[in-house]
Amino acid sequence: MDSIVVTGNGPLKGEIPIAGAKNACLALMPATLLSDEPLILTNAPRLSDISTMSLLLQSLGADTANLQNGKVLAMSSHDLTSTRADYDIVRKMRASNLVLGPLLAREGHAEVSLPGGCAIGARPMDLHQDGLEALGATIELKDGYLHAKAPGGLKGAKIKLRFASVGATENIVMAATLAKGTTVLDNAAREPEIVDLVRCLRAMGAQIEGEGTSRIEIQGVDRLHGATHEVVTDRIELGTYMLAPVIVGGEVECLGGKKELVQSFTDKLEEAGVSVEETGRGLKVSHRPGQRVRAVDVTTEVFPGFPTDLQAQMMALLTTAEGTSTLHETIFENRFMHAPELMRMGADIEVQGGTAKVTGVDRLKGAPVMATDLRASVSLILAGLAAEGETVVNRVYHLDRGYEHVVRKLSGVGAKIERVKGA
């Protein structure tokens, strides 16, 4: 397996282009199943998860093509040949479950394997199932597959989610676009990826209002048409690279970034003493080399709260903060698996359940460490930037699921980092 070698070597300076959002793109791609006309996505990220979703769509009979070196995805579901999403593909990625709603809405039936993904905690399908059943579907779990049927079509309904789940919101909204009548979804997720999906669906002819709020209203239509849509900037990649010049000092402009995408995260950085400036091209982050940030307390929450997908990276920063920070993880129960690896580098971390107490140290020390999931991978790379000596991050195949060209982007601003091919 490949590894990434990072050697701490001082301040960073320059520009980092931020890619299109992985989590947005993975929801947008299944939207092609709602129409027999082409859907074209621009500003697509070049990631293994995107390739996995393409394979899944192809297995259903959709045509997919990568254009402009993978930054444009052209898809067509003119002739679907299957409504079964097989385990061999779905097990690789949680977002595979997002084909359920579109298939059910268009074809009236679907068989979708229970999904996989990173081992960061339970992410059950009950909210998806409850929402689709409220729209008139019957769903049975058998042999590891959700067998869903709606032979008479879906019908609009009033639905209130017990938890503001992003995936359930996406599945329900897509399914409701072709349902008869009006669907009102309360306690809907408010993430920018939801807003982006609704904008795309609206470009395809859907009638939807309320995206970005906790109440979304969908008036079903008979059919959707094709569209071209630009994928929103990846707020998690944005937040990750905003941390790089903070951890080692320097000044980096993250091109395409906007504060509104990462406001709660930006607020915490500024509370810690970091300068974040919105420019005409993105967000410029600067921090004086050698100056330790102030300790801050962080609680992960659904949007617009602090993102769980930036918790590991923030922990890496706080390992060298002045004082003691407390991180409360409220979304996933297994999301502190990176803490023991950071401790191998000299971090002072105590974990009890969903709470981690991080007492800053003067300096981390390079060490061989192992990535346990996608966000943990990049948190260890960030820690390596701040450490004395060499840090070797193993099992970086997780990284390829969510970050394109991480070595190129960090080395472009002065980091000493390389990817080493495994045997």
Annotated binding site for UDP-N-acetyl-alpha-D-glucosamine: 94, 123-127, 309, 331
In contact, 381 and 3? CB cutoff 8 Å: no
Residue with the two structure tokens 């948190």: 379
Q: Which helix (H) or strand (E) holds 201?
A: helix 192-203
Query: Residue 364: helix, strand or coil by DSSP?
Result: strand
Cα 283 from Cα 274, distance rounded (Å): 12
Closest CA to 234 of 32, 41, 45: 45
Beta partners for 228? Answer: 40
Provide the annotated binding site for phosphoenolpyruvate: 22-23
Q: Using alpha carbons only, what angle is made at residue 39 by residues 35 and 44, rounded to the nearest 5 degrees? A: 140
Q: Which helix (H) or strand (E) holds 51?
A: helix 48-59
Residue with the two structure tokens 């950071």: 342
Transcribe 16-79 into DSSP letters: EEPPBPHHHHHHHGGGGGG-SS-EEEES----HHHHHHHHHHHHTT-EEEEETTTTEEEEE-SS
Query: Residue 19: helix, strand or coil by DSSP?
Result: coil
Cα 113 from Cα 12, distance rounded (Å): 44
- How many Cβ atoms are within 10 Å of 423's Cβ, its own excluded? 3
Outline where 249-327 has alpha helix (H). 263-271, 311-318
In contact, 182 and 217? CB cutoff 8 Å: yes
Active site residue 118: yes
Cα 115 from Cα 125, distance rounded (Å): 9
In contact, 4 and 419? CB cutoff 8 Å: yes
Cα 355 from Cα 375, distance rounded (Å): 18
Beta partners for 325? Answer: 358
Residues acting as catalytic residues: 118
